[in-house]
Structure 1
Amino acid sequence: MTRHLHGILALLLVTLVWGTTFPAMKDLTGHFSAVWIILVRFALAALLLSPFLWRAKLADVKSGAILGGLLFFCFVFQVEGLALTSSNRNAFICGLNVLVVPLLGVLAGRLPERRIVLALIMSIAGLAALCWDGGAWGLGDSLALMSALCFGVYIKVMEVRTRSATRLLSVTAAQIGIVALCAMVWLLAREVPADAAERGARIGGVVSAIGQHVWNFAYLGVIATAAIISLQTWGQSRTTANEAAVVYAFEPAAAAFFGYFWLGEAMTARGWLGGLLLISGMIVSQWNSERRPAAALAPE
């Protein structure tokens, strides 16, 4: 096989693994708060990627810190939304983040390209079909949309920061470590009781529960975050940005597929039509885009 085909296959594997993270995290929301899930997942990944921080440039660490702060809120909204809606619906709505970047240009006073207008029409029609299939729009959907907006802003900031990066994996390691740190601070400030005895009992209960779901957390932290980012970086170095965008657009479909086998979530023909319209809108919005991030380093 050629170098180019190796890259395409690597990105297909990345997309499939990303698709599994939605049902995997949905499964955990019945036992843990969103921030506990984020902390354990990203602490594991940060530990594995920490060697890339050895002799990292200060500018790369600073970029990672900024991106990590944004990424933390992306995941807070995403996982909180997962607790209130199905994993496949959450994945399709979160996938709308690819439309946020060109829409930011519209807010800055630039007229949208025709492909963006077409992508918006397709995406709105897709959302309507998806909601018609799975019930009225709810809080979980709003949180997923907030996650998509945050991811869009994150991608725009990443585009600027990665252009000047010395080592992309150093930036990635720094941002994943910051996500874990933000989650820890959030827990101490909002979810861990002030009383010592109560705090010890609460943390002990969570640690015990983590032990019961250790393989799920290990998969999310080791495979779906640390390992898959390395594969993604390798794959994108062998493909074009447009090819990567098209491959990544199928992540929500992968999430719906694994959601069915993992959690028993099903979609009707109308729901699949909505999903197809959303995926098509994502592809149209990215095709022939002149400016794209140097690397999409956000784990899903």
Structure 2
Amino acid sequence: MALSDLSTRNFSRLTLDTSSALVWKFALLVCALIWGGSFVVIKDAISYISAAWLMTLRFVFAVGIVAIIFRKNLKEHLDATHIKYGVLLGVLNGLGYLFQNGALAYTTAGKAAFIASIYCAMIPFVNWLIAKKKPHGSSIFAAFLCVAGIGLISLGTDFSFSFGLGEQMTLLSAIIFAFDFVLIAELSHKYDIITLTVVQLGVSALPCLAYALCFETVPNFAVLPTNAWVA
């Protein structure tokens, strides 16, 4: 499939040619594996470049690529409304990643990945707040398990409780992502999701860049090792 063909498709209503949902579930599994593995990669990368600069680069490269691929889609749908909601999603997304990856300087990749994944249990409750859809009993039970899990990983060998800056930043990022994803789900039914995503990616770089310029030194990009660029 040519990129020009790809860019003209309406991915807001994307369907597969197969009746099986296993393909989608497998795709989600692959995404989860990549997302989980990224904590280890980024934990190593921030030894060479700050999380803020790293996120800025990631979003700049990402928006450049998707804007080229979906340029025809943008030409058709980009308007003031898509920009308005894309900016909202982008600010949330940028802050979420800034806190999540910045936290890796203060906690382990394993703890960060576990706490960050708690946004999944938060989503039904945020959805209740925004869309007025009451969560099921299973969601309440899942939230209880998540709280118990945080308690377990926060206990030291002497049963002392420790929930430091890194863990707090990661939890804050999970809350932000829960709101971000609920808003994406709501907006995707009304607006073109690809256009919203492109705007979101572009705006996501701004909170990271602002923090980097104010509080971080500009890295020497020419001497960054390969693993930093891979992250």
What is the TM-score when the length of structure 1 is the normalising length? 0.61
Q: For residues 90 and 134 of structure 2, what CA distance do their matches in structure 1 show?
A: 31
After TM superposition, give the deviation of residue 158 of structure 1 in Å.
Answer: 1.6
Deviation sequence 1:222-270 (CA, Å, 0-9, x none)? xxxxxxxxxxxxxxxxxxxxxxxxxxxxxxxxxxxxxxxxxxxxxxxxx
Residue 97, structure 1, aligned to residue 119, structure 2:
yes
**Residue 69 of structure 1 is aligned with which of 82, 88, 91?**
91
Offset from partner CA, 1:199-218 (integer Å, 9 cap, x none): xxx53x432343x23x543x
Q: Which residue of 1 aligns with 2:155?
A: 132
Q: 1:144 aligns with which of 148, 167, 170?
A: 170
Q: Which digits, 9 at most, give the CA deviation of each residue in 1:155-177, with x for residues without a partner?
A: 222222222122x2222121111
Q: Residue 263 of structure 1 corresponds to which residue in structure 2?
A: none
Q: Residue 169 of structure 1 aligns with which residue?
A: 194
Residue 3 of structure 1 and its aligned partner are, at CA, apart by 5.3
Identity of aligned residues (%): 24
* 3-state SS in 2 of match to 1:156: helix
Is 1:26–2:43 an aligned residue pair? yes
Contact 1:46 1:180 in 2 (8 A): no
- In structure 2, the CA distance between the partners of 1:161 and 1:105, relative to structure 1 (3 Å rule), is closer
Matches within 5 A, 1:1-300: 4=20, 5-51=22-68, 52-53=70-71, 54-55=74-75, 56-58=77-79, 59-104=81-126, 113-132=136-155, 136-166=162-192, 168-188=193-213, 190-191=214-215, 202-203=217-218, 205-210=219-224, 212-213=225-226, 215-217=227-229, 219-220=230-231
Q: Give the partner amino acid of 1:187.
A: A
> What letter corresponds to residue 156 of structure 1 in structure 2?
V
- Secondary structure, counterpart of 1:163 in structure 2: coil
Change in 2 beyond 3 A, CA 1:186/1:22: same
| 8 Å contact from structure 1 (residues 31, 209) kept in 2 | no
Distance 1:142 1:24 in 2: 21
Change in CA separation of 1:128 and 1:170 when aligned onto 2, cut-off 3 Å: same
Partner Cα separation in structure 1 for residue 154 and residue 148 of structure 2: 10
Task: Report the TM-score, using the length of structure 2 for normalisation.
Answer: 0.77
Query: Is 2:59–2:204's contact at 8 Å kept on the other side of the alignment?
Result: yes
Q: CA RMSD in A?
A: 2.7
Q: 2:222 is aligned with what amino acid?
A: S
Report the count of equivalent residues: 205
